[in-house]
Amino acid sequence: MSSERVWTGIEFAALAALAIGIIGCAVGSAGNAPAFYRGWLCAYIFWLGVPLGAVTLILVHDLTGGAWMASARPTLAAAATTMPVATLAGIPVLLGLRAVYPWPGASDLGNAWYLNTGFFVLRYAIDVVLWNGVAAYALWAPRGIALGVEPGLRWLSAIGLMLLAYTASFASIDWVLSLDPQFWSAVFPMITGAHWFNTGLALVLIVVAMQPASVLVRDHLGDLAAILFATVIFWAYVEFCQFLIVWEENLAHEIPWYLRRIAGAWQTVTWVIAVAGFFVPFALLLWRKRSRLVVITAGVLILASRLIESWWLVLPDLPQRPPFWLDLAAMLALGGLMLLLFLRRLRFGALALAGAGAT
């Protein structure tokens, strides 16, 4: 089967996912709007990692360099193109803020100055503007295929990285941690940041590994796999650090956050996330980083793990969880739209990148 037919089939699958997802969301929101908002939050948290991870890696390359960008540039550009869709996908959650979060209108919270609707919406608007501005810089600033920006512009890349780090940290607190206003963890923004970066990089690796085999792609694949290998270890490290600290402290306002996530069926989900998101990819990438089959397998497992983790982070804190089919419909609707945009840019934007030269 030709590569053209493979990509056409993937586009058709994305279009089918979008159609099924829209129908499911329409039916779900008509019958139970609060459940739709809650399910949509999980999809928003997961798919946000695609452009955030891609833009971060482009800016990191501006500062560090690396020959691997010659193979990764088209895929990273395609992923960064989805930033407007991914960021604006938070609007449906804003419409149902009171149905999702316990703090709107609450006056008995010590942090009510921070957790209030007006300030929340303002922070979201700032995130949308900054993230799309940084993504535009990552896409349109003059770069070669393999090289980053000129030395005189690297300070902009450094500022962009800092803006992404700070805003993503506060966004993780706003959208996920505030589901339980009594729980606090200084490590949590690093967990979510690693979650988003792993999501974006895993998708990029899968696409790069699907390119026609060549010595160049194989060498670059090993470099990219090494980056993913390191960040998967970091994700597991910060996840365990938070768990260990909270468990050892055993404070009444913190320990319930984990008790809800290791009770009943969630205990199995926790192990699935750990095995598929760390133990198996760690062993595979440690074994063979330049094997396309190994890298694709590891990437798929990491993507599946981060998707499940998005549900694991959100759903246990909700008093009334949406039905699973509505969660899945939201994932398909937003994911189908983003993948269609990603694939369009990947297939037809590569010509423009090639015109930039292979410097």
Are 47 and 355 spatial neighbours (Cβ–Cβ below 8 Å)? no
Residue 70: the pLDDT is 86
Q: Enumerate the H helices of the chain as residue ranges.
A: 3-31, 33-47, 49-64, 69-80, 83-88, 91-95, 97-100, 117-140, 154-175, 188-209, 215-249, 255-259, 265-274, 280-287, 292-314, 324-348, 350-354
Q: Does 176 score more than 50 pLDDT?
A: yes
Distance (Å) of CA 20 to CA 9, 43, 82, 310? 16, 15, 20, 21
pTM, entire model:
0.92
Q: Does 194 score more than 80 pLDDT?
A: yes
Q: What is the band of 217 on the pLDDT scale with cuts at 50, 70, 90?
A: low
CB atoms within 10 A of CB 144: 16
Determine the longest span between alpha carbons in the chain, in angstroms.
Answer: 62
Residue 356: the pLDDT is 46
pLDDT tens digits along 248-291? 998 888 999 999 999 999 999 999 999 999 999 999 999 988 88
Of residues 298 and 110, the one with the higher pLDDT is: 298
Please state the rounded mean pLDDT for residues 162-191.
94
Residue 350: the pLDDT is 53
Residue 147: the pLDDT is 81
- Long-range contacts of 154-162, Cβ-Cβ distance < 8 Å, separation of 24 or more: 154/62, 154/63, 157/59, 157/62, 157/63, 158/59, 158/63, 160/55, 160/59, 160/134, 161/56, 161/59, 161/60, 161/63
d(CA 101, CA 111): 14
Residue 37: the pLDDT is 95
Distance from chain centroid for Cα 344: 20
Q: Does 125 score more than 70 pLDDT?
A: yes
d(CA 245, CA 252): 13
Q: What is the band of 351 on the pLDDT scale with cuts at 50, 70, 90?
A: very low
Q: What is the band of 357 on the pLDDT scale with cuts at 50, 70, 90?
A: very low
Residue 2: the pLDDT is 56
Q: What is the band of 102 on the pLDDT scale with cuts at 50, 70, 90?
A: very high
Q: Calculate what percentage of the chain has a pLDDT beyond 90.
A: 71
Residue 214: the pLDDT is 59
Q: Does 349 score more than 70 pLDDT?
A: no
Of 359, 192, 225, 197, the closest CA to residue 293 belongs to: 225
Q: Does 358 score more than 50 pLDDT?
A: no
Residue 216: the pLDDT is 57
Residue 41: the pLDDT is 97
Q: Does 6 score more than 90 pLDDT?
A: no
Q: Does 162 score more than 80 pLDDT?
A: yes
- Sign of the dihedral through C-alpha 244, 103, 268, 304: negative
CB atoms within 10 A of CB 42: 27
pLDDT tens digits along 15-73? 999 999 999 999 999 989 999 999 999 999 999 999 999 999 999 999 998 888 888 88
